[in-house]
A and B are shown apart, each in its own frame.
Chain A
Amino acid sequence: MAEWLHPGLIFLLGALLIPILRGKVKSAYLISLPIFAFIDLLLTTKGVFGDIPFATLRLKFGDYTLIFGRVDNLSLVFGYIFVIACLCMIIYALNERKDGIFVSAFIYVGSAIGVVFAGDLISLYIFWEIMAFSSLFLIWYRGTEEAHKAGFRYILWHLFGGCVLLAGIIMYAQATGSIVFNAFTWGLGWDYLPSYLILLGFSLNAAVPPIHAWLSDAYPEATYSGGVFLSAFTTKTAVYTMLRGFPGWHILIYLGAMMTIYGIIYALLENDSRRILAYSIINQVGFMIAGAGVGTPLAINGAAAHAFCHILYKGLLWMSAGSVLYMTGRTKCTDLGGLYKTMPLTTAFCMVGALSISAFPLFSGFTSKSMTIEAVAEAHLGIVWLVLIAASAGVFLHAGIKFPYFVFFAKDSGIRVRDPPLNQIVGMGIASFLCIFLGVYPVPLYAILPYHVDFTPYTLPHVVETLSLLSFSGLAFFLCLPLLKRTQTISLDTDWLFRVLGMRFIWFCERPLITFAEIIDGALRKIADFFAWFANNPAVASRMLVALTGAIVFKPFNPLNEKYKRDLDELKRVYSDEVVHRMGIGTGVLLALIFFTLYLFIYLSYGVLWR
């Protein structure tokens, strides 16, 4: 039985070779890496490497053991979709000129797979941080000033999340003595603080409001293909960690429900097409988090299936937006419109993505998202169920209609560009095919879900209800179209507070604080200058000081004091080249002699007189 090859390693090590290769060889190599990883995963499932979870791939770390190969149904679902998505995305991204983008993307994917297969909290943390830094470059490579600044804000958010996560992990290891990553038990009280901190760290990556603003801020500023990669991995690894670590934590149900509505509201306000998609991610992840919160097998199946399908259709939507950016150089809805005439393929793929995300029958969302909603119904959470139904209608509103309508249809912007290059078409085509395939025949997906699936999506009531819900949502959209006019605006999000506070803090450091520092500095310098002046000529200086104090003390009695005059004379003399009173060189020699004698005495008497 061979040693298990970690699929993440294929990407992480494979990334190193990219800069050496050129041209067609490089393209072939880039496409081959996800294919190798996929074959690796297939062999893993077939048991070629032994019975999973693996006993190999452990590393000693002090008193703890790092487990890199915790493979079970939950990790495999995410492992598979990450690799499949990476294949579509890398084919799509082949037009990128800078090698660094490919290297960053592969390190990003590799570390995401690393997180998914990590069996302990410390290796999870290591891969978590690698993900944050590699994804940062996908934003920075865009090169615009906006991308530069957004990238900095992005990494600051993630460093904060990483620190909180690490704090939680360390406290957890201290408290329980183990770093194995399994479900945390729910409880209220200080004892559970480590799990709260870890939950907070995971929530940041899952973009739970109010710590979600990095997503809508930075993702739209990424490169045309960078955005595609970003849309899939950070948030879905967070969903995985929620499913693994916090299943059944009821707070997640309410957070998830809130997230779904939050994303829709902001998506309806937005003008930038990629920012609409970013808020759409928050909306969709809300469903998954709510599923994690419910914690029943159906709910976890639903969340995992939803994550699987979501990566594909959200990637597809980001790909269509990225192609529009690539061909037209624009992303704002106010600058776009009427593109369906010259970009028919991109429009078609976008519609596939839009229908999938809306959970239209025959598309992948229908067979996956419905499981989560069904699980919420089974748990008798009435209000949450209503919120999720409203959110399902809202998804059709902002992602199913608003996004394609304003980008590809609506008022003609006059742009006449053709469909993007072939590789982008192929990438989008594969993703579309999978979206439709999983919508029509979800059996392969259901087979790899963590628990046995007892759910039939295609029942007549379900189909009719969904069609009804969606078509009347569409009616609402077209009736309210005057209210949804495109405006050249941005929307302020929760990061407003941090950005304003940050600016105020910098202003405080650069003005009041520096002024204060300069005052202290000046005062200390005056003291140092005094000592320097004093040491220049101590004899005269001390005499002067005495005279000065005398003058001050006796001033009331005798205004015109002799001492004062003598003082001034000596002052003049000290500051001329001739120094009046000087101690002879002999004094210095004598002092040195005394010092050395004393030292000799101590050295000789040590051990005899004292120890």
Chain B
Amino acid sequence: MRVEKGMLFCIFYICLAFCAFAEMIVEMHYSDYTPFWWQKIPFFYAISGFLSCILLILVAKGLGHWLKKEEDYWKKRESLLKREESHGE
């Protein structure tokens, strides 16, 4: 199993390198209709994919500190409400 995993990652890294290389070549040879100036930056899509994912994960992690609660959060609140009612009566 471990050998397989290591091999998978090897293939993955090769694909990454290939993609980056291909992107560089394509950017050089295809001066397509690029409405934005930043599309001409080399490795733009690779960097933007990587950076935006990192950013999204970090933002999610940050917001998670406030937003994540235990699974029975709502159950506890509802039973708290019921207990308040029964105390009143």
Bitwise, B30-63 to A at CB < 8 A (1) or not (0) is: 1010011000000101111110111111111101
Q: Which of B22, B30, B36, B85 contacts A468 (CB 8 A)?
A: B22
- A residues less than 8 Å from B23 (CB atoms): 464-465, 468
B88 at the interface (CB under 8 A from A): yes
Whether, in the assembled complex, B7 has its beta carbon less than 8 Å from a beta carbon of chain A, the answer is no
Q: Which of A451-481 contact B (CB under 8 A)?
A: 459-461, 464-477, 480
10 more A-B residue pairs beyond the given contacts A471-B46, A472-B49, A473-B52, with a C-beta to C-beta distance below 8 A = A268-B56, A389-B52, A464-B22, A468-B45, A473-B50, A477-B57, A484-B57, A489-B68, A500-B77, A507-B84
Report whether A477 and B53 are in contact in the complex, using a CB–CB cutoff of 8 Å: yes
Provided the pairs A268-B57, A460-B26 are in contact, do residues A468 and B49 lie with their beta carbons within 8 angstroms?
yes
Contact A510–B71 (Cβ < 8 Å): no
Give A246 to B64 CA distance when docked, in angstroms: 35
Shortest CB-to-CB span from B54 to chain A, Å, is 5
Judge if A487 is at the interface, Cβ distance under 8 Å.
Answer: yes
A377 interface residue per 8 A CB criterion: yes
Q: Which residues of A in the span 480-528 have a Cβ within 8 Å of any Cβ on B? A: 480, 483-484, 487-493, 499-500, 503, 506-507, 510-511
Cβ of B15 under 8 Å from chain A: yes
Q: A268–B60 contact, CB under 8 A?
A: yes
Check A264 against B56 for contact (C-beta < 8 Å): yes
A471 contacts which chain B residues (CB < 8 A)? 12, 15-16, 19, 46, 49
Bound form: Cα–Cα A188–B46 in Å: 41
Bound Cα distance A475, B16 (Å) = 8
Alpha-carbon distance between A243 and B36 when the two chains are bound, in angstroms? 27
Which of B30, B48, B78 makes the CB contact (< 8 A) with A469?
Answer: B48
Q: Do A476 and B57 form a contact, CB below 8 Å, given A380-B35, A382-B36, A468-B46?
A: yes
CB distance from A505 to the nearest CB of B (A): 11
A365 to chain B, nearest CB (A): 15
- The answer to whether B60 and A265 have CB atoms under 8 Å apart is yes
B64 x A390 contact (CB < 8 A):
no
Q: Which 8 interchain pairs have the tightest Cβ spacing?
A: A390-B52, A476-B53, A469-B49, A268-B60, A472-B49, A472-B50, A489-B68, A393-B49
Are B26's CB and A461's CB within 8 A?
Answer: yes
Q: Are A503 and B81 in contact (CB under 8 A)?
A: yes
What is the chain A residue whose CB lies nearest that of B78?
Answer: A503
Interface check A88, CB cutoff 8 A = no
- B64 — nearest CB in chain A belongs to which residue? A269
Whether A468 and B56, one on each chain, are in contact in the complex, defined by CB atoms closer than 8 angstroms, is no
Select one of B20, B53, B69 contacting A489, CB under 8 A. Answer: B69
Nearest chain A CB to B70 CB, angstrom units: 6
- For B60, the closest partner residue in chain A by CB is A268
A490, B57: Cβ atoms closer than 8 Å: no
Given A393-B49, A464-B22, are A261 and B81 also a contact pair (CB < 8 Å)?
no
Contact A397-B67, Cβ < 8 Å, known A475-B16, A483-B61, A507-B85: no
| Alpha-carbon distance A492/B69, docked complex (angstroms) | 7
Chain A residues, Cβ within 8 Å of B16: 471-472, 475
A82 within 8 A of B: no
User: What are 27 inter-chain pairs, A to B, with CB distance below 8 A?
Assistant: A264-B60, A268-B60, A269-B60, A382-B36, A385-B36, A386-B48, A390-B55, A393-B53, A460-B26, A461-B30, A464-B19, A464-B22, A464-B26, A465-B26, A468-B22, A468-B23, A469-B45, A469-B49, A472-B46, A475-B50, A476-B54, A476-B57, A483-B57, A483-B58, A489-B71, A492-B66, A510-B88
Interface residue ranges, A against B (CB under 8 Å): 261, 264-266, 268-269, 377-378, 380, 382, 385-386, 389-390, 393-394, 397, 459-461, 464-477, 480, 483-484, 487-493, 499-500, 503, 506-507, 510-511
Check A390–B32 contact: CB distance below 8 A: no
Residue from A393, A461, A510 in contact with B52 in the complex, judged by beta carbons closer than 8 Å: A393
Tell me the bound Cα distance from A270 to B33 in angstroms. 39
Question: Contacts A461-B32, A474-B12, A475-B50: A489 and B56 contacting too (C-beta < 8 A)?
Answer: no
Q: What is the CA–CA distance of A499 and B74 in the complex, to the nearest angstrom?
A: 9
Report how far A390 CA is from B59 CA in the complex, Å: 13
Report whether B67 and A492 are in contact in the complex, using a CB–CB cutoff of 8 Å. yes
Contacts of A473 in B (CB 8 A): 49-50, 52-53
Query: Which residues of B are found within 8 Å of A491, using beta-carbon distances?
Result: 64, 67-69
Residues of chain B within 8 A of A475, CB atoms compared: 12, 16, 50
Which residues of A sit under 8 angstroms from B46, Cβ to Cβ?
Answer: 468-469, 471-472
Q: Which B residues are in CB contact (< 8 Å) with A469?
A: 45-46, 48-49
Please judge, given known A-B contacts A378-B35, A471-B19, A510-B85, whether A490 and B69 are in contact too, CB under 8 Å: yes
CA–CA, A466 and B26, complex, Å: 12
Contacts of B45 in A (CB 8 A): 389, 465-466, 468-469, 472
A444 to chain B, nearest CB (A): 27
Separation of A468 and B52 alpha carbons in the complex (Å)? 13
Q: Which residue of A lies closest to B84 (CB)?
A: A507
A377 with B36: CB separation less than 8 A = yes
Which B residues are in CB contact (< 8 Å) with A487?
Answer: 68
- The minimal Cβ–Cβ distance linking A189 to chain B, given in whole angstroms, is 33
CA–CA, A380 and B57, complex, Å = 28
B52 touches A394 (CB 8 A): yes
Contact status B53-A511, CB under 8 Å:
no
Q: Considering the chains assembled together, what is the distance between the CA atoms of A397 and B54 in angstroms?
A: 10
What CA separation (Å) do A470 and B54 show in the bound complex?
13
Closest B residue to A397 by beta carbon equals B53
Q: Given the complex of chains A and B, what is the CA–CA distance between A386 and B36 in angstroms? A: 10
- In the complex, A397→B67 CA distance in Å? 20
The smallest C-beta distance from A483 to any residue of chain B, in angstroms, reads 6
Task: Give the chain A neighbours of B59 by CB distance below 8 A.
Answer: 265
**CA distance in complex: A552, B26 (Å):** 107
CB-nearest residue of chain B to A492: B67
Which residues of A lie under 8 Å from residue B22 when comparing CB positions? 464, 467-468
Q: A472-B50, A476-B50 are in contact. Are A489 and B70 (CB under 8 A)?
A: yes
- Which chain A positions have C-beta within 8 A of B66? 492
B residues in contact with A377, CB < 8 Å: 35-36
Contacts of B84 in A (CB 8 A): 507, 511
Which residue on A lies nearest to B63, using beta carbons?
A265
